Structure 1
Amino acid sequence: MTSGIDLGRPTSGDVLDLITDDHRHFERLLAQLRDSTSDRDAVRQAFAHVLIAHGEAEEELVYPVLRRRATDVGEHEIEHGHEEHAEGNEALLKVLELKGTDTDAFQDAVEKLSNLIAHHIAEEELTIISPARESVGERVRRELGEKWAARRNQLVDDGCGSLENVRRVVAAAEREGLLDDDE
């Protein structure tokens, strides 16, 4: 499925730490995706699995809990997180749909994806994760970490980064109005 590229398989821990660990994993995979000497096709597939699994598990399990328990995280921040996930997934789809990995079009698509992901990581860590560390108890964060990790790993095992599934995820985001029509 991903030619031996490490997808990470967290099993437990503070959910906020697990999420930020995944963010660092995204950054490493994106660096490999920009490296012309790497197996870019394998890396883009690995990245697709990790990105989709991370976001889906976060939206299903983490955001609802933070919406209820994190007093310093507002509805706007959660909704904005959903929108940025959708934008990143849309950019990922464009990378996955390209046939070759040694073209200017591929490099441009990877650059756009990298920029969107970097922006989302910085914003989410600042406006959601950091405040949640203060207002959500450690026990809840650990319980949520175990659930999030299990869901993330199950989604990876189910092939959530396949081209067909990414198309489905992006189409659902479009129907929900999470993506701008002018893109």
Structure 2
Amino acid sequence: MNSAIDLGRPVAGDVIDLILDDHRLFERLLAQLRDTTQDRDAVRVAFADVLIAHGEAEEELVYPALRRASGQVDKEDVEHGHEEHAEGNQALLALLELKGTKTQAFDDAVEKLSNLIAHHIAEEELTILSPAREEVNERLRRELGAKWAARRNELIDRGCGAITNVRRIVAQAEREGVLSDA
């Protein structure tokens, strides 16, 4: 984990609020990746850790629980969220594999990643999180929040954004056919 950049360490709360907090963190970190006055390599490493931890914890714990508890969060929404996570992870891998941060290739990779993440955030907030806030009781959302936060923090502590792990995650998505046009 990159300790120079604060990724937050939530421990409790409504899972929807915690996920939304991470979405805002993604937006701030992506803005820093576009800013040539920042330590873009440090930001890239921090972004990789939080993006992978967030998505993995969401898919393991949150999506299945929200699908069971909400009549409005359906299988297709969850599968689409999984596909968008895989696409974001693939774009993240392309960014991590670049050698420098002061190249047009880096800027292009940041742009692609930013666009994918912005699209996913908007869609997830509209089709999964908003319905879940209405359909899923607060007690369950708080229980999920504690579990999700613990798993997210554990994954960050393990350095889940390391390039070898991101490669493994992307390769698994390819094997599962989630990245069919990869």
> Smaller-chain TM-score range?
over 0.9
CA distances 1:147-166 after superposition (whole Å, capped 9, x unpaired): 00000000000110000000
Q: Show structure 1 runs of 5+ residues with no match.
A: none
Please say if residues 22 and 54 of structure 1, whose CA atoms lie closer than 8 Å, have aligned partners that are also in contact: yes
The one-letter code sitting in structure 1 at the alignment partner of 2:148 is W
Q: Which residue of 2 aligns with 1:103?
A: 103
Distance 1:48 1:107 in 2: 16
Distance 1:149 1:2 in 2: 18
Q: Displacement of 1:32 after TM fit?
A: 0.2
Distance 2:63 2:93 in 1: 23
Distance 1:10 1:177 in 2: 33
Q: Which residue of 1 aligns with 2:144?
A: 144
- For normalisation by structure 1, the TM-score amounts to 0.98
Aligned-partner SS, 2:57: helix
Which piece of structure 1 moves more, 68-77 or 15-24? Answer: 68-77
Q: Displacement of 1:4 after TM fit?
A: 0.7
Q: Which residue of 2 aligns with 1:129?
A: 129
Q: Displacement of 1:74 after TM fit?
A: 1.1
Q: Which residue of 2 aligns with 1:170?
A: 170
Q: Show structure 2 runs of 5+ residues with no match.
A: none
Q: Displacement of 1:2 after TM fit?
A: 1.8
Distance 2:57 2:166 in 1: 15
Please say if residues 81 and 120 of structure 1, whose CA atoms lie closer than 8 Å, have aligned partners that are also in contact: yes
Q: Displacement of 1:3 after TM fit?
A: 5.0
Show the 5 A alignment for 1:106-117. 106-117=106-117
**Percent of matched pairs sharing the same residue:** 76
CA distances 1:126-178 after superposition (whole Å, capped 9, x unpaired): 00000001110000000000000000000000110000000001011111111
Please say if residues 3 and 42 of structure 1, whose CA atoms lie closer than 8 Å, have aligned partners that are also in contact: no
Distance 2:176 2:17 in 1: 29
Report the RMSD for the aligned CA atoms in angstroms.
Answer: 0.8
The one-letter code sitting in structure 2 at the alignment partner of 1:23 is H
Runs of 4+ aligned structure 1 residues displaced above 4 Å come to none
Q: Displacement of 1:180 after TM fit?
A: 2.7
Distance 2:49 2:7 in 1: 8
- For normalisation by structure 2, the TM-score amounts to 0.98
CA distances 1:24-78 after superposition (whole Å, capped 9, x unpaired): 0000000000000000000000000000000000000001101111111111100
Distance 2:30 2:153 in 1: 20
